[in-house]
Structure 1
Amino acid sequence: MCDLPLLPPPPPPVCWAPTSHLLGTHIPSPGHAKAAGIWLPRPHVTVPAQDTRHPARAVAGRFRHGSSPAAGKTGRALSKQPGVRAMFNPCPSPCCAAGHGDLGTRGLGDTGTAPPTSPLPPPSPKSCCGSGRGAGDTQRGPTGHQPCPSGGAPVPRRGWTPGLRWGGDGDPEGSSRCLPAPLRGTASVAGTMAAQPDGGEKPFHIISPTLESLPLSRAAGTKVYMKLENIQPTGSFKIRGIGRLCQEAAKKGCRRFVCSSGGNAGLAAAYAAKKLGLPVTVVVPSTTGPTTVRKLEELGAEVEVSGQVWDEANKRALELAQTEGWVSIHPFDHPSVWQGHASLVRELKDSLETKPDAILLAVGGGGLLAGVVAGLRQVGWQDVPIVAAETRGAHSFHAALAAGRLVSLPDITSVAKCLGAKTVAARALECAQECRVISQVVEDAEAVRAVERFLDDERMLVQPACGAALALLYAGRLRRLQREGRLRTPLASVVVVVCGGGSIQAAQLRALKDQLGLE
Structure 2
Amino acid sequence: MTLHIPTPCIESHALGQASGRRVWLKLENLQPPGSFKIRGIGAACEEHARRGKRRFVSSSGGNAGIAVAYAGRRLGIPVTVVVPETTTERARALIRAEQAELIVHGKAWHEANALAQSLLGENDAFLHPFDDPLLWQGHASLVDEVAQAGIRPDVVVLSVGGGGLYAGVVEGLRRNGWNDVPVIAVETLGADAFAQSLAQGYRVELAAITSIATSLAAKQVCAQAFALAQQHATRSATVSDLAAVSACGRFLDDHRMLVEPACGASLALGYGHADALGDAENVLIIVCGGVTATVDQLRQWRQELSEEA
Same fold (TM over 0.5): yes
Cα distance in 1, alignment partners of residues 204 and 286 from structure 2: 26
Equivalent of 1:407 in 182, 204, 213: 204
Q: CA deviation at 1:501?
A: 3.1
1:273 lines up with 2:101 in the alignment: no
Q: CA deviation at 1:295?
A: 1.0
Aligned-pair Cα RMSD in Å = 1.2
Specify whether residues 327 and 480 from structure 1 end up closer, same or farther in structure 2 by C-alpha distance, changes over 3 A only: closer
Equivalent of 1:511 in 296, 300, 306: 300
Amino acid at match of 2:127: I
Bigger RCO of structures 1 and 2 (CA < 8 A, at least 6 apart): 2
Equivalent of 1:393 in 190, 199, 223: 190
Task: Quote the residue 1:111 is aligned against.
Answer: none
Amino acid at match of 1:209: P
Equivalent of 1:330 in 128, 146, 153: 128
> Which of structure 1's runs of 4+ aligned residues deviate more than 3 A?
none
Task: Quote the residue 1:138 is aligned against.
Answer: none
* Length-normalised TM-score, structure 1: 0.58
Cα distance in 2, alignment partners of residues 514 and 324 from structure 1: 49
Task: Quote the residue 1:448 is aligned against.
Answer: 245
1:213 lines up with 2:12 in the alignment: yes
Cα distance in 1, alignment partners of residues 182 and 20 from structure 2: 18
Amino acid at match of 1:392: L
* Length-normalised TM-score, structure 2: 0.97
Q: CA deviation at 1:290?
A: 1.3
Secondary structure of 2:248's counterpart equals helix
Q: CA deviation at 1:352?
A: 2.6
Contact 2:269 2:277 in 1 (8 A): no
Secondary structure of 2:187's counterpart equals strand
- 1:473-493 per-position Cα deviation (integer Å, ceiling 9, x unaligned): 1112x32452xxxxx3xx331
Secondary structure of 2:238's counterpart equals strand
Equivalent of 1:346 in 139, 144, 149: 144
Specify whether residues 480 and 466 from structure 1 end up closer, same or farther in structure 2 by C-alpha distance, changes over 3 A only: closer
Amino acid at match of 1:395: D
Cα distance in 1, alignment partners of residues 113 and 269 from structure 2: 30
- 1:286-327 per-position Cα deviation (integer Å, ceiling 9, x unaligned): 011111111111101000001111111111111112x22111
Q: CA deviation at 1:507?
A: 1.2
Amino acid at match of 1:339: Q
1:473 lines up with 2:270 in the alignment: yes
Q: CA deviation at 1:431?
A: 1.2
Cα distance in 1, alignment partners of residues 222 and 243 from structure 2: 25
- 1:215-294 mapped onto 2 (5 Å cutoff): 215-294=14-93
Q: CA deviation at 1:469?
A: 0.2
Specify whether residues 502 and 481 from structure 1 end up closer, same or farther in structure 2 by C-alpha distance, changes over 3 A only: closer
Secondary structure of 1:207's counterpart equals coil
1:420 lines up with 2:213 in the alignment: no
1:496 lines up with 2:285 in the alignment: yes
- 1:320-360 per-position Cα deviation (integer Å, ceiling 9, x unaligned): 12x2211110010000000000000000001134x110010
Runs (5+) with no aligned partner, structure 2: none
Amino acid at match of 2:150: L
Amino acid at match of 1:223: R
Q: CA deviation at 1:409?
A: 0.2
Task: Quote the residue 2:110 is aligned against.
Answer: 311
Cα distance in 2, alignment partners of residues 272 and 214 from structure 1: 34
Contact 2:237 2:276 in 1 (8 A): no
- 1:428-439 mapped onto 2 (5 Å cutoff): 428-439=225-236
Cα distance in 2, alignment partners of residues 407 and 312 from structure 1: 18
- 1:43-85 per-position Cα deviation (integer Å, ceiling 9, x unaligned): xxxxxxxxxxxxxxxxxxxxxxxxxxxxxxxxxxxxxxxxxxx
Say which structure is richer in helix. Answer: 2
Runs (5+) with no aligned partner, structure 1: 1-201, 483-487
Amino acid at match of 1:504: A
Cα distance in 2, alignment partners of residues 433 and 361 from structure 1: 17
Secondary structure of 1:390's counterpart equals strand
Amino acid at match of 2:130: F
1:460 lines up with 2:249 in the alignment: no
Specify whether residues 268 and 445 from structure 1 end up closer, same or farther in structure 2 by C-alpha distance, changes over 3 A only: same
Task: Quote the residue 1:161 is aligned against.
Answer: none
- 1:43-192 mapped onto 2 (5 Å cutoff): none
- 1:383-412 per-position Cα deviation (integer Å, ceiling 9, x unaligned): 001011000111111111112111110001
Secondary structure of 1:447's counterpart equals helix
Cα distance in 2, alignment partners of residues 329 and 501 from structure 1: 18
Aligned residues with identical type, % of pairs:
51
- 1:20-35 mapped onto 2 (5 Å cutoff): none
- 1:345-364 mapped onto 2 (5 Å cutoff): 345-353=143-151, 355-364=152-161
Cα distance in 2, alignment partners of residues 237 and 432 from structure 1: 21
Cα distance in 1, alignment partners of residues 217 and 82 from structure 2: 15
Amino acid at match of 2:275: R
Task: Quote the residue 1:57 is aligned against.
Answer: none
Secondary structure of 2:286's counterpart equals strand
Cα distance in 2, alignment partners of residues 268 and 457 from structure 1: 27
